[in-house]
Amino acid sequence: MRSGRSATLVGMMGLLLIVGCGEPPESSPEPVEETIVSVHASRGVVQAIEEEGARLIIAHEEMPDFMDAMTMPFDVGDPDESAGLAVGDKIGFELVMATKRSYVRNIQPLPTETELSLAP
C-alpha cells in the first residue's frame, strides 16, 4: 500500500513534468517499439514472489536451444498474473524475449503431482 505522503510526492512530480514540458503529448515521447524476438514455453516451481508480483524467482526446466534448467528471476509482463501464486507452486509459463526486455506471460498452475526436470 502506497502511503499518502509518497502518493502526494508522485502527484507533484507528475505536475512538474506537465508544467515543464512545452510540447503537446502527441509529439513526445516516442512510442515504445517492442519486437518479440522469441518465446520459450517452460515449466517450473515458484521460489519467491517479489515486487508485488512483478518479479518471480522460478526454478525452471530446460528451455531447448535456449537455456539450461536453473533458478533465476523473471519479470512478469502482467503482475496480475502472479496474484494467485504461492511459493512452491508448480507453473507453466512462456518466457518472452523482446528487443528491450524479457518477461513471463501465460502463467498456468500445474497439478502438484507434476514431475519436473529441474537443476540439481
Q: Which residues bind Cu ion (CB under 5 A)?
A: 67, 70, 72
Question: CB of 116: closest distance to Cu ion in angstroms?
Answer: 14
Cβ atoms within 10 Å of 95's Cβ, excluding its own: 21
Question: CB of 115: closest distance to Cu ion in angstroms?
Answer: 19
Cβ nearer to Cu ion, comparing 70 with 85: 70
Contacts of 63 (CB under 8 A, 6+ apart): 40, 41, 42, 95
Cβ nearer to Cu ion, comparing 42 with 82: 42
In terms of Cβ atoms closer than 10 Å to its own Cβ (0-12, 13-18, 19+), residue 58 is buried
Question: CB of 71: closest distance to Cu ion in angstroms?
Answer: 8
